[in-house]
Amino acid sequence: MDKLSDIVVQRIKQIISIEHRPVSCLDFLPTFQVEGKEYRIAYGTLRNILSRLRRTTQIQIDYKTKQTFYTLPGIIFGRSKQMMTSYHTGVHTSVGHDSIYKLIQNLPLGKKALHDIHLRLEIKGIWSILSRSPTFKIDAISKDIRLPRWHIKDLALRVTVHRTNTISVIVGGSYHPVAIDFNGIIRLSNALTIVEERLSKLIQECNGLSGKQDSPLVPDHLGWIVTMWHFGIDGLIEYTGEKFSCTWEVGQNALIRAYTKDFENGKTRIRLERQEYPRRNLADAIEEKLNSSTNRRL
């Protein structure tokens, strides 16, 4: 199997094991990310890979609507009213799709928020600068340099330097998402400012090892490109029923998820979530969210 097929399989396994749902072409087009690295794939190429994976029984069709949804052999999610939902514990529970929809219709909700924010920036020559330092391990295959995870403002940040001098920054925070309000945006901005400062310091230190004086500048985080984020909202009341994870298809270009989320305080709440691909700088993407006047829940 070629390298791109291996990457697609890796992403399929991630979605099914972590997000507990089947996958469709929407999860890969026009781009998708694995381990902080972005991959671009043409629709025809993706269809060929999925067909080959089906023929070799590495994946199977779960169900069809306007999109075809795929899963791994032996793991069935389904689309019927009594949808079988799989969990990492291996336990299967029967949850009514319609009953879940009715449940969230009148659910009191908190603030809209963002998490799993993927950003991209470029710094000329940064890979060769950091690669000189014995501190950083270079991946034998991808040649990526993965910096240690940083925990800032209750956010977990992962920074990966690719040999193309592109840098991927992933902002976690599933337990403490970034609220779409003044305080939330300031919190995110402050955390990314610290990332800027740490990157600048690393560049200067590594340049010092080689005796070089001039160091490339780290661009302002407001200009970093948002490639993807999860936009969601949590229920205000604790949920004590069966755990579930459901996906609704919205047109042909988006999927909305509703699932139970276990929080650090031991309580469980319902989360509604939509995966979006802004593909614009952070300042513009945030401004659009702040100015949104939609009355829809998501």
Mean pLDDT of the chain, nearest integer:
83
Indicate if the pLDDT at residue 104 is higher than 80. no
pLDDT digits (tens, 9 = 90+) for 66-96: 678 899 998 887 764 333 333 332 233 344 5
In the prediction, which pLDDT does 88 show? 32
- Apex 263 CA angle, 261 and 266, nearest 5: 115
Choose among 290, 32, 51, 69: nearest CA to 180: 290
For the cut 60, the answer to whether the pLDDT of residue 99 exceeds it is: yes
**In the chain, % of residues over pLDDT 90:** 39
Q: With the CA atoms of 204, 206, 210 and 211 taken in that order, what torsion angle do they form, in degrees rounded to the nearest 10? A: 20
In the three-class reduction of DSSP (H, G, I as helix; E, B as strand; rest coil), residue 102 is classed as: helix
* Distance from C-alpha of 121 to C-alpha of 225, rounded to nearest angstrom: 6
Question: 51 or 63: which carries more pLDDT confidence?
Answer: 51
* Domains of the chain as residue ranges with CATH: 1-74 (1.10.10.10), 80-298 (no CATH)
Query: Is the CA virtual torsion 283, 157, 88, 5 positive or negative?
Result: positive
Q: What's residue 32's pLDDT?
A: 84
Which is more confidently placed, 241 or 117? 117
Q: What is the pLDDT of residues 197-208, one digit of tens each?
A: 999 999 998 887
> What is the per-residue pLDDT for 283?
96
pTM over 0.75: no
